[in-house]
Structure formats: structure tokens, C-alpha cells
């Protein structure tokens, strides 16, 4: 079986994590930024349904047929939720496997499905499909699901689990929450720190009436900053902070901006849909259990500054053979999750364009190229260190809606907030923003890249990507009689002629023509320009 692109990129990034900021260090709100200590969570939202998972039988003996069935199940779910007026964010397959018992998919459903597919070899398997809802009130979901489930059952889709949720004010950490739960006699805390990190704790509620209920409370903003998906190693969700398609959740984000946002989530396992009162009672039990726990009043801005101050570099990876590009801004050494994104069908020039747009000011960019053999072995073929041009004040991009590589405020048909409005403020010349004007792969990069050398203090930096329109002719921008010191330079054709493109240490950009007839110094341009 061929390796996935994500697996390959993750293997490469793991070799360079020493160059990335480790946000796993941000585990104590009572640090330098000084959170205010509180008791318990407050300002709970109305209970809503966040997501649910369905299981369905598949024939694992035939991958082609299996794929067709998964596609049909996805279509059935989209149709059912569309007719029920339950707005969903996504419906996607999670995983598949061998069906070992009848706990979720009953024997009669398995038998019926096997008989329907008896033309060839049959191996009982299952597929797991997750439906992620927008902010749907629990009452509406329970009423709708009572009608949906019988219909889906006839199409071999059965409920595996459903999440009921409250958002609330203030945040806490695993250490404080574990201590509180143990003091309350909870002995079912899940040892999942390596998977969810230090801003989340999971436990199982006491079982009764054959219910299996997993409880979880976590810092919602930290989840969005550090983990795109619990099942993925690399991802980006920062766009959801400023341009979330769920208007109700956007209002929730704004409402807790100055204090911190947590989420209490209960997952009810089983194919049975319970009355609304059952979900509410168990949620109330969990809320009472958390009464008096240690929490912190900690704003989004404090969360962000604590992490941004750790950023010293970024890593970019390009695989020319498959035209896959990925970047990573930071990672969490506890969960091994990395914040960044990956795109396919990226040409070599576009890869450098993305490096320029997604890099940070005043910080090195570790650029890596690699190739992958037929058996999946990864070999690094090139390593370079770049920087943005000296004195650069440009913005740093994060992906836009639908993970577009050239985000733009104007592309959204809904209200979009500035990153600073949501606490993602400039920190030490790190400026996370989106452009206001349209830009694309033919546009000038947001910053000019210069190559970093080990002896960088003595030589001019070499520019890798330049857009000639941002450089002026020497006679237009240079002052006669003034001596300029070159900070960075590179060669590129402009209207068919090869020109030196030069950035002075004062920030002036020059496209050197005949008026700048020569340079004095070494071949590495350790020199000062002299006017004729």
C-alpha cells in the first residue's frame, strides 16, 4: 500500500521540530502574563449537538465495491440531514475495519447487507462516518433524529455515538482538572494526555441503564490554535477564529474573547436515541461535578502572545516529484500535532511564493526538498535557510476559507473579523493577517526572500524570489552623492534584460541599470554601490 502524503510530510517535519516553537510549553495560565484565578466555569450556553458518528456495513473483500458503498452512505446522510433542516459543516468518512460483533450493527442488518451483496466474496466490515453540525440546539436535533434514524436504518446506517455540548467561560488545564475530579471520587480519567494535550481532560461517567458516556472538557481556543483534527498530524483552523461559517459560534467566540472559552462535551455511545431529558440530566451531572474547580480568566490575546513569543522560525517542505508543498508554524511536543497546512499540485515557483507569504518577519525559514522512492522511503535532497528581506514588516498568511492558499477578506459572503479583533495581535513583528485586495499566484509575493548563509554577517544576502514591479530604476529612487550599502541582491530578467535587483540596508529597492555601472568588492558583492 502506498504511503499517504500526510504521512510522508509528517516524517519530514519530525526531523526539523527542533526549529519549531513548541507550544506544548504553554501549560500554566499563571505565568508571566498573569491570568486571574477563578472557581468553576460560568456563562454556560444552551445545550447543543456538536456532532455524531454513524456506522454502516461494507464488504471488505472488494475495495472497489466498498468505495461505492461509502459514497452512497455519504450521499444518504447528506440527503437526510438536508431534508431535516439540520445544517452541517461536514460529513466525512473517518475509518473502516473488520466487523467483529453486533454491538452497533445488529445481526439482522449485517445479514441483509450480506445477502444483498452475495454475488462474490463477502467479508463483514464497517465504515465510520462523522457528521459535524453547526450550532444546532439539542432540542431540535433530538426531534429531527427521531424521524431520521428509522429512515437511515433501512439504508444500513446506524447511530454509533452523539455529542451533546455546552460552551462556557474561563479555562483550566489538565493538572487542575484531574486533581479536582480525583478529589470528587472520579477514578475513570482517561490516560490520553499524549493525544489531547494539557488543556483537555477526559473521563467516563458512571455507567447505568447500559449507557456509556464519555465526558470531556477542553480549552476551545487552544484546540483551534494547536490541533486541526484529533486524527491528523498537520492542519490549520485559525481561519475559523475570524471567519467561522457558524454565526452562533462566532457570537460565542466574541462573547468570551476577554475571558477564555472552554467546551464541556458528553459523548453518548450506542445506537439508541434518548429523550432530551436524559441528555440534559447527564449534562447537569457533569456540570455539578465541575463546580468549584480551579479555572482562569485568560483572554484570547494572552493565549496568543504566550505562544507567539516562542516562535523563532518556520519549516517548509516541498516534494518536486509529487508537487506537494507543506509548511509548519509551530508544534506541540506532547501531542505531536503540527500547525500548518499541505497543498498538492504546487509548482516549484509557486512553492517559493508560498514560502514568502507564509513565513515570519525577522525569523529564518528552514526550506527542505525531498524525494520519495517507490517503496515509500523518504530522502531529503536539499536544505536551505531563507529569511524575509531585512526590515520587512509584511503580514504572514494562514489559509483562508476552504483552505485556500491565497486568502482574501472579500472572498467571504459573511462577516469576517480582523485577527487582532480576536486577540491575534502583532507580537515582535509577527503579523497574522489577510490581504484586503485580491491576490493570486501571479501577484507579487508579500515579502522578498533572501538566502541565509553561515557567514551571513560578512556577505550580502542572495534573494531567491523577486517581483520586478516592486523595484524602482536607480535614477528614480537613489539620491546622487549618497553612498548606499547593499543588504540583499539577486538577478532576474525584466522586459527581456537581466538586472540586478537590490535592497539597500535602508530599505530602498533598486533595479540596477546602466546608471549603476559597477560594484566594488568580492564576487559575493561585499561592496558599496558607487554612482558613476
* CATH number, residue 137: 3.30.70
More confident residue, 62 or 239: 239
Asked whether residue 379 is assigned to any structural domain, the reply reads no
Asked whether residue 96 is assigned to any structural domain, the reply reads yes
Asked whether residue 278 is assigned to any structural domain, the reply reads no
* pLDDT surpasses 80 at 335: yes
414 contacts 243 by C-beta, under 8 angstroms: yes
294 contacts 176 by C-beta, under 8 angstroms: yes
> In what side-by-side order are the strands of the sheet with 124-137?
88-98, 124-137, 48-59, 158-169, 261-269, 212-219, 200-204
- How far is 140 from 151, CA to CA, in rounded Å? 18
Residue 131 is part of which domain span? 48-160
CB-count exposure of residue 395 (10 Å: 0-12, 13-18, 19+): middle
Single residue among 108, 133, 160 that ends a domain in this structure: 160
pLDDT value of residue 287 = 97
- Which residues partner with 42 through β-bridges? 169
What is the count of structural domains for the chain? 2
- How far is 18 from 21, CA to CA, in rounded Å? 8
* pLDDT surpasses 90 at 489: no
Per-residue confidence band for 5, with pLDDT thresholds at 50, 70 and 90: very high
**76-89 pLDDT tens trace:** 999 999 999 999 99
Asked whether residue 486 is assigned to any structural domain, the reply reads yes
Asked whether residue 513 is assigned to any structural domain, the reply reads yes
Per-residue confidence band for 455, with pLDDT thresholds at 50, 70 and 90: low
- How far is 203 from 182, CA to CA, in rounded Å? 11
Q: What totals of helices (H) and strands (E) does the chain contain, helices first?
A: 13, 23
> How do 36-39 and 294-297 pair as beta strands?
antiparallel
Single residue among 132, 160, 188 that ends a domain in this structure: 160
**118-137 pLDDT tens trace:** 777 888 889 999 999 998 99
Asked whether residue 242 is assigned to any structural domain, the reply reads no
Q: What is the C-alpha radius of gyration for the chain, rounded to an integer number of angstroms? A: 27
Per-residue confidence band for 298, with pLDDT thresholds at 50, 70 and 90: very high
321 contacts 373 by C-beta, under 8 angstroms: no
H-helix or E-strand containing 510? strand 509-512
- How far is 261 from 171, CA to CA, in rounded Å? 6
72 contacts 321 by C-beta, under 8 angstroms: no
pLDDT value of residue 60 = 83
pLDDT value of residue 111 = 87
**247-263 pLDDT tens trace:** 899 999 999 999 999 99
H-helix or E-strand containing 135? strand 124-137
Single residue among 110, 136, 160 that ends a domain in this structure: 160
With CA atoms as reference, report the closest residue to 396 among 442, 353, 430, 424: 430
Q: Which triple of cell numbers denotes residue 44? A: 454556560
> How do 324-331 and 338-343 pair as beta strands?
antiparallel
Q: Could you tell me which residues come within 8 angstroms of residue 82 by beta carbon, excluding any fewer than 6 positions away? A: none
Asked whether residue 66 is assigned to any structural domain, the reply reads yes
Q: Is the dihedral of CA 343, 344, 345, 346 positive or negative?
A: positive
Asked whether residue 227 is assigned to any structural domain, the reply reads no
H-helix or E-strand containing 90? strand 88-98
pLDDT value of residue 181 = 97
Q: Is the dihedral of CA 57, 62, 65, 70 positive or negative?
A: positive
Task: For Cα atoms 239, 224, 416, give the angle at the middle one, nearest 5 degrees.
Answer: 25
Q: Which triple of cell numbers denotes residue 288? A: 455539578
**203-246 pLDDT tens trace:** 999 766 557 999 999 999 999 999 777 678 999 999 999 999 89
- How far is 123 from 62, CA to CA, in rounded Å? 8
**CA within 13 Å, CB half, 491:** 5
Amino acid at each position: 500500500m502506498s504511503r499517504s502524503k500526510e504521512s510522508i510530510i509528517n516524517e519530514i517535519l519530525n526531523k526539523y521540530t527542533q526549529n519549531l516553537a513548541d507550544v506544548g510549553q504553554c501549560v500554566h495560565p499563571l505565568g508571566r502574563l498573569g491570568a486571574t484565578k477563578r472557581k468553576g466555569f460560568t456563562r454556560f450556553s444552551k445545550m447543543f449537538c456538536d456532532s455524531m458518528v454513524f456506522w454502516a456495513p461494507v464488504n471488505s473483500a472488494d475495495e472497489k465495491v466498498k468505495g461505492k458503498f461509502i459514497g452512497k452512505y455519504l450521499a444518504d446522510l447528506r440527503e437526510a440531514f438536508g431534508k431535516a433542516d439540520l445544517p452541517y459543516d461536514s460529513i466525512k468518512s473517518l475509518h473502516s475495519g473488520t466487523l467483529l460483533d453486533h454491538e452497533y450493527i445488529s445481526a439482522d442488518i449485517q445479514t441483509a447487507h450480506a445477502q444483498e451483496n452475495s454475488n462474490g466474496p463477502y467479508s463483514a466490515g464497517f465504515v465510520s462516518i462523522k457528521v459535524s453540525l453547526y450550532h444546532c440546539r439539542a432540542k431540535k436535533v433530538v426531534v429531527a433524529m427521531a424521524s431520521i434514524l428509522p429512515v437511515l436504518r433501512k439504508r444500513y446506517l446506524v447511530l454509533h455515538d452523539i455529542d451533546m455540548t455546552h460552551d462556557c467561560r474561563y479555562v483550566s488545564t489538565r493538572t487542575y482538572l484531574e486533581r479536582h475530579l480525583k478529589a470528587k471520587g472520579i477514578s475513570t480519567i482517561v490516560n490520553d494526555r499524549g493525544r489531547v494535550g494539557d488543556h483537555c481532560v477526559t473521563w467516563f461517567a458512571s455507567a447505568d441503564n447500559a449507557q456509556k458516556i464519555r465526558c470531556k472538557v477542553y480549552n476551545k481556543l487552544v484546540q483551534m490554535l494547536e490541533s486541526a483534527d484529533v486524527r491528523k498530524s498537520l492542519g490549520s483552523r485559525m481561519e475559523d477564529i475570524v471567519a467561522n461559517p457558524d454565526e452562533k459560534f462566532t457570537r460565542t467566540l466574541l462573547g468570551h474573547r476577554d475571558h477564555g472559552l472552554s467546551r464541556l462535551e458528553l459523548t453518548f455511545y450506542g445506537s439508541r436515541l434518548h429523550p432530551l431529558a436524559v441528555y440534559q440530566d447527564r449534562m447537569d451531572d457533569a456540570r455539578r461535578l465541575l463546580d468549584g474547580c480551579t479555572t482562569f480568566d485568560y483572554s484570547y490575546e494572552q493565549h496568543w502572545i504566550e505562544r507567539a513569543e516562542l516562535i523563532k522560525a518556520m519549516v517548509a517542505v516541498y516534494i518536486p516529484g509529487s508537487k506537494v508543498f507543506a509548511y509548519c508554524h509551530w508544534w506541540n511536543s506532547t501531542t505531536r500535532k503540527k500547525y500548518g497546512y499541505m497543498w498538492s499540485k504546487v509548482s516549484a515557483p509557486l512553492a517559493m511564493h508560498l514560502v514568502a507569504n507564509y513565513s515570519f518577519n525577522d525569523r529564518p525559514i528552514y526550506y527542505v526538498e525531498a524525494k520519495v522512492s517507490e517503496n515509500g522511503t523518504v530522502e531529503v535532497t536539499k536544505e536551505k535557510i531563507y529569511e524575509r528581506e531585512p526590515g520587512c514588516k509584511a503580514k504572514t498568511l494562514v489559509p483562508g476559507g476552504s483552505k485556500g492558499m491565497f486568502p482574501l477578506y472579500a472572498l467571504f459572503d459573511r462577516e469576517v473579523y480582523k485577527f487582532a479583533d480576536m486577540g491575534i495581535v502583532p507580537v515582535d513583528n509577527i503579523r497574522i493577517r489577510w490581504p484586503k485586495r485580491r491576490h493570486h499566484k501571479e501577484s507579487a509575493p508579500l515579502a522578498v526572500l533572501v538566502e541565509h548563509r553561515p557567514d551571513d554577517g560578512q556577505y550580502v544576502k542572495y534573494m531567491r524570489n523577486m517581483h520586478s514591479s516592486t523595484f524602482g530604476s536607480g535614477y528614480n529612487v537613489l539620491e546622487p552623492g549618497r553612498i548606499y550599502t547593499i543588504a540583499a541582491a539577486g538577478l532576474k530578467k525584466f522586459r527581456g534584460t537581466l538586472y540586478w535587483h537590490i535592497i539597500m540596508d535602508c530599505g530602498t529597492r533598486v533595479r540596477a541599470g546602466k546608471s549603476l555601472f559597477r560594484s566594488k568588492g568580492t564576487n559575493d558583492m561585499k561592496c558599496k554601490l558607487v554612482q558613476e
